[in-house]
Amino acid sequence: GDGSPQDGAPGHRQRGAKKDCTSPCSGAPSLAPGIFEASPEEQASKYWDELTQVGLPSDIDARSLFDLAGRCWAHQSCAMWSEGVSRAPGQSLAYVDRAIDSGSTEYCAYCKRLGASIKCCEETCRHLYHYPCAAAAGTFQDIRSYTLLCPEHIELAIERSKDEVNCAVCDSPGDLRDQLFCTSCGQHYHGLCLDIAVTPLKRAGWQCPECKICQTCKNPGEDSKMLVCDMCDKGYHTFCLQ
């Protein structure tokens, strides 16, 4: 969980008690007496297995992604960040179907699976990603323009995303490879400033201290009763784990 803001550290809320990624984090039931919990390595492996479910199988037929009426479904974030997708009047998105179709033949630079539709915005770069993989890979994401720069071109963010590149705690770009991107508010935080060891697992779906919600009830608040997983940095209310 997250406590009150620290002096001299805007946006940095004190983290509450941490927990290992045991049964509540993995969704496993409570263990009966005499049955040992999985090791941290096994729990981490389970999370990596979940991340590898991102993407399309190699023998996919793009037509199977659309129903008989020609409609398709996509996660909002996956669609908004995809190349060629634009905002239509209101909250709708245009050309999502084109992104799905083109992505069905593109491999993700991170997980190597099909379905990658989010391109590095450096014109000469050919790296594409799935939305969760983009974070895990350590790309720089700019929520104002819904564009990203791959790790090879990440230093370009200092010039291209002047207003978004600074850490919310130290107010400087610092080491861009140590930054975490909040998938809720779009702010960036250095792992060092939050005392977090940045890993691909933590990057994927990360939420800052101000936006963090309980993974069980999906609600924020109750900071003093929020546990934070040491491995994935996801939050859980203590009363939701009972």
Half-sphere exposure of 87 (CA within 13 A, CB side): 9
Tell me, what's the pLDDT at 163? 82
Q: Which two tokens stand for residue 46?
A: 């389970």
pLDDT, tens only, 80-109: 999 999 887 777 888 888 898 888 889 999
Q: Which two tokens stand for residue 226?
A: 């929020």
The Cα–Cα gap between 73 and 88 comes to 17
pLDDT, tens only, 118-158: 999 999 999 999 999 999 999 999 999 999 999 999 999 99
Q: Is the pLDDT of residue 207 over 80?
A: yes
The Cα–Cα gap between 164 and 103 comes to 27
Q: 39 Cβ partners below 8 Å, 6+ apart?
A: none
Q: Is the pLDDT of residue 230 over 70?
A: yes
Mean pLDDT of 71-78: 84
Tell me, what's the pLDDT at 133? 94
Please identify which residue in the block is written with the tokens 């993407």. Answer: 55
The Cα–Cα gap between 203 and 205 comes to 6
